[in-house]
Structure formats: C-alpha cells, structure tokens
Structure 1
Amino acid sequence: MPEDGRGRHETPNERADRRWTELLQEVRVAQTGAQILFGFLLSVVFTPRFATLDPFDRDLYVVTVVLGALATGALIAPVAYHRLLAGRRLKAELVDATSRVVTLGVVLLALTVGSALLLLLHLAVGLLPACLIVAAVMLWFAVWWLLLPWLLRHNGRRRHR
C-alpha cells in the first residue's frame, strides 16, 4: 500500500474515505451553527423593533440574511454533492470539491457573524464603536481560522522536506 507522506499506509480509496469522514465531522459543527444563526436572523423581521430600523440597518439586515443563506447553502452542499456523485467512483473528486465549498461556507459564516454583529452593535453602541469591535472580531477569526492553520501547514511542509 502506498504511503501518503505522513506515515499513513492507505490506498487512495481508503484515504478518500478517511478524508470524507473527517470532512463530514467538520461540516456537522459548522452547519449546526450556521443553521441556528440563520434561523434566528429569519425571525428578526417579525419583531416589532424591525419596523423602526433606519435604512442602513435594514440594508445591513438584508445583507446579513443573504450571507447566512449562502453560508447555510454552502455548508449543506456536501449532501447534494454526495447524492449526485455516490456510487460513481469519484470519491477523491467528491472530497476535493466539497472541501472547497465547505471552506467557502466557513468564510461566508464568518462574514455572516461579522455582519450580524455589526447590526446588533450599531444599534447598541453606535456605528464607530461597532465597526471597531467588528474589525477586532473579524481579525480574531482571521488569526484563528486562517493564519494559524496556514502557519501549521507551512511549518509542517518545512519539517517534511
């Protein structure tokens, strides 16, 4: 059996199966959060306070809901991909494609959280403080969700040379 460079001895099919299982576990976590947030966002329009929002806040709400819908759709996409491709001997391609769409879904989820936070904080503390707080939160997401994994990947590649 070939080795994939990380000490695993698995066939390409075994590797694709393992990666698919890992991807599904990751999606379960992100998908649940996205669906809860999206459900909450949908209910906001039916509250009495919504009618009093100014145009900026209404537009921001629309952007937030659309981002939430896109994030939810991207994070549910692996189900559709699997249904359309199951049994066609395309597991490696399925894993690669769904990995990309899940990454997009996570980015859209971060943008949804940032947009929702901006909407809430704009109403609570004003636009400038809200923008500063949201910028800090988005930076926090970028560090933990992008920068640190990139650094681990980069350092791992250097060690395996």
Structure 2
Amino acid sequence: MSETERGRHETPTERWDRNWADIQQELRIVQTGTQILAGFLLTLPFQQRFASLSARQETIYLVLVVLAVLVTVVALSAVASHRLVFRQRQKHDLVRVGNAILIAALIASALLFAGTVLFVFDVVIGDLGGLVGGIVVFVGTALLWVSIPLALRRTRKDG
C-alpha cells in the first residue's frame, strides 16, 4: 500500500522535509538531556568532595565528560551537515545521514547515562553499587530503546 493510499498526500520532497523535521526534533530532545547532564558533570571539580575521589573515579569522571562532549558534537554534526548542504537539493541524503547521527547520539547517550549512574553510585555507596547501578541503567535503557521499537515493528498494521 502506498503512502497516498494510507492517507498521506505528500510529494517525495514534502516527505523528506517532514522526516528531517522529525529528526531535528528528536535531536533537540537528546541534546537537552545531555546538556543538562554535561552541565552537572562540569560543576563537579569545583565541589569540595571532588578532591577525595580515587584515581579510578577521576578516570570514570573524565570518560563521562568526554562522552558528554561526544554526544553534543555528534548531535551538532547534523546541524553542521544541514548548513553545508543547505539549498543543494540533498534533503534525502541529509535525512539518511541525520538518522545515522541520531542513532549514534542515542548510543553515546545511553553510555553517558549509565556511566553517570555508575559514577554517582560508586562515589556514594562504593564500587559494587556503582557497577550494579550502571549495568541496570544500561540494560534498562537498551531494553526500552530496542524492545519497544521492535515490538512496534512486529505489530505494524499498515503493510
């Protein structure tokens, strides 16, 4: 069944524009959450307790800062790509690249979220608690972000 038969009456160009708008909105959501988390991470070295971190905890912290920057840079690469191909009639290519960029940002975000829980739990209740907390968040995120879309694909009613 074609898109027109399913109720959408749009040209291929309109579809690419709609898809790009969807990607932009999803990138905004990813960026907001990770920017708040990055801001939190960047304030930590200025806290009194930061000096008492172990070498391992400092390493975890620095990895998290790099991950936060990575998520931001990856998400912004969609914006940079858009700017560089603006008015070049490449929206279809931009949507394909934007989709890959968004997936990469989501994977890095999942690692950032799990790593942040690992770090905080490690500092507050110890390394075993940190490890368990980080694993639970990572597995829970993976289950939600993969199993729900897969379930939706299996129950698709529109052909």
Is the structural similarity TM-score above 0.5? yes
Q: In structure 2, what is the Cα distance between the partners aligned to 1:5 and 1:113? A: 42
Report the TM-score when normalising by structure 1. 0.90
Give 1:40 deviation, angstroms.
1.5
Q: What does 1:8-157 correspond to in 2, within 5 Å?
A: 8-156=8-156
CA shift in 2, pair 1:155/1:50, >3 Å: same
Q: In structure 2, what is the Cα distance between the partners aligned to 1:4 and 1:68? A: 41
Q: In structure 2, what is the Cα distance between the partners aligned to 1:33 and 1:88? A: 32
Give 1:9 deviation, angstroms.
2.7
CA RMSD of aligned residues (A): 1.7
Greater length-normalized contact order (CA 8 Å, ≥ 6 residues apart):
2
Give deviations 1:121-149, integer Å, cap 9, x for gaps.
Answer: 00111111221222122121112111111
- What residue ranges of structure 1 are gaps of 5+ in the alignment? none
Which consecutive segments of 4 or more residues in structure 1 shift more than 2 A? Answer: 2-9
Q: In structure 2, what is the Cα distance between the partners aligned to 1:155 and 1:5? A: 19
- What residue ranges of structure 2 are gaps of 5+ in the alignment? none
Give deviations 1:91-132, integer Å, cap 9, x for gaps.
Answer: 011011011111111111111111111111001111112212
Q: In structure 2, what is the Cα distance between the partners aligned to 1:83 and 1:116? A: 32
Give 1:4 deviation, angstroms.
6.8
CA shift in 2, pair 1:4/1:37, >3 Å: farther
Report the residue type matching 1:75 in the other structure.
Answer: A
Report the TM-score when normalising by structure 2. 0.91
CA shift in 2, pair 1:107/1:46, >3 Å: same
8 Å contact 2:116–2:134 — kept in the other structure?
no
- Tell me the number of residue pairs that the alignment of Structure 1 and Structure 2 aligns: 158
Give 1:3 deviation, angstroms.
3.0
- SS state of the match for residue 89, structure 1? coil
8 Å contact 1:68–1:112 — kept in the other structure?
yes
